[in-house]
A and B are shown apart, each in its own frame.
Chain A
Amino acid sequence: MATGNGSTGPQIVKIPRVLVVDAAVTGNAVLFPALLTIPQDADFEWWWLAISRTSALLKMLLTESGTSRQMIFPGSQLTAGTQFLGVNVDNLAGTVAANGSFPIAVPYVMPASRQYTHQFSDTSGVTNTVEVVYHGFALLAVPQS
């Protein structure tokens, strides 16, 4: 990008980056929180999601903190007294080793320093160790030579 004073603006370079959210969700926990903070050095372009967990009896909600934007909506009408807890983690993604990572399909840019709230709800009754992994690219701005 030309700046008009003879110099040029920064160029965006995509560097592979993996962001990780770890949580040990206590048995039967409801909306157990875990936070992902995008590194402040660059925006993150999200391409793949991968999840490993101890038990499949686990649901997840995902909210973008800066905008309060929900990525998981309560589609069905809830019966009285029930609470929306999100999507089964196995319906979101599997592991890379099992060829089960989920392609976001239309890559999504997560701004630098922005926080994403994960809320896990367990029905297995025992501690559920879960890892949510975001694969994508750091959009690093580097000066043009």
Chain B
Amino acid sequence: MSTFLSRLLFKDGGPQSAPPSDGSPPLRPLMLPRIIATFENIFAVIGNTPADNQKDVYITGDGSVFDEAIQGGTPTWIPCDFIPLGPSKTGRSKMALPDNFTLLAFLASASSNVKGGFRVNVYDINRRIRLTERPVNFNAIAGTGNSPLFLGGDWGSSRFALPYQFQPTNAQVMITVVNLETVNNNIEFVLYGIQGGHAASQ
């Protein structure tokens, strides 16, 4: 059976073995290594662990992708619990953040996830900035500790983005949660980040 590659390599039949009738030039053998390079290019792999690129924050033999943005500080989890939130109910919680908090990731879980679990909206009260355009399904904004999505980083100049720093003192964030389930739902939404530390690039 001739394949696209074998037709290019050996001209073993198929429409490409004869010059195209439309007057365009035939495919040249020079195209082959370019195609193979596309298939096997090791540099095409993004990040360290192709299995879970969204939590690639360490670079082999180097350090963290946040090294140029922030160094030092204490890892900090700030959970917002609704135990439980009633069926189809909306809950709001104004969360006071620790001083000098830099947001790195969201984490979330729900005890019931039959009809989508819950939606969540994140709002920076001090700066009046919505961090979510509209309420987002929790599975689409956050994973558990198994599968975090890290925000920002310095994966080279093309993917450089500073992680979000809240107001240095008295920062507050409003979390709005909508239970999509028709049963009581134990909901936890967590802000993960760094308290303190210093900006390495400034």
Q: Which of A87, A105, A108: most chain B Cβ within 10 A? A: A105
State which residues 59-85 of B face A: CB under 8 Å.
63-66, 70-82
The one of A46, A75, A91, A102 in contact with B95, judged by C-beta atoms closer than 8 angstroms, is A75
Could you say which of A46, A49, A91 contacts B79, with CB atoms under 8 Å apart?
A91
Any B CB within 8 A of the CB of A77: yes
What is the interface residue range for chain B against chain A? 35 or more
Q: Mind listing 18 A-B residue pairs with CB under 8 Å? A: A71-B75, A71-B76, A75-B78, A75-B80, A76-B80, A77-B93, A90-B146, A91-B107, A91-B108, A91-B144, A91-B188, A94-B144, A94-B145, A104-B75, A105-B65, A105-B66, A106-B104, A108-B73
How far does the alpha carbon of A74 sit from the alpha carbon of B80 in the complex, in Å?
7
Measured CB to CB, the nearest residue on chain B to A100 is: B146
Among listed B6-14, B31-39, B50-58, B124-132, interface-contacting one: B50-58
Q: Please give me the residue from chain A that is nearest to B49 by CB atom.
A: A99
Cβ contact within 8 Å between B76 and A72: yes
Q: 1/0 per residue A65-109: CB within 8 Å of B?
A: 000010111111100000000111111111000111011111110
Q: A106-B70, A106-B73, A108-B74 are in contact. Are A99 and B58 (CB under 8 A)?
A: no
Measured CB to CB, the closest approach of chain A to B112, in angstroms, equals 13
Residue of B with least CB distance to A64: B74
- Let me know if B191 is at the binding interface, CB within 8 A: yes
Question: In residues 93-133 of chain A, which contact B (Cβ within 8 Å)?
Answer: 93-94, 98-100, 102-108
With contact pairs A91-B190, A99-B51 given, residues A75 and B145 touching in the complex (Cβ less than 8 Å): no
A74 to B107, CA, bound (A): 15
**A32 within 8 Å of B by Cβ?**
no
Query: B71 touches which one: A47, A51, A88, A106 (CB < 8 A)?
Result: A106
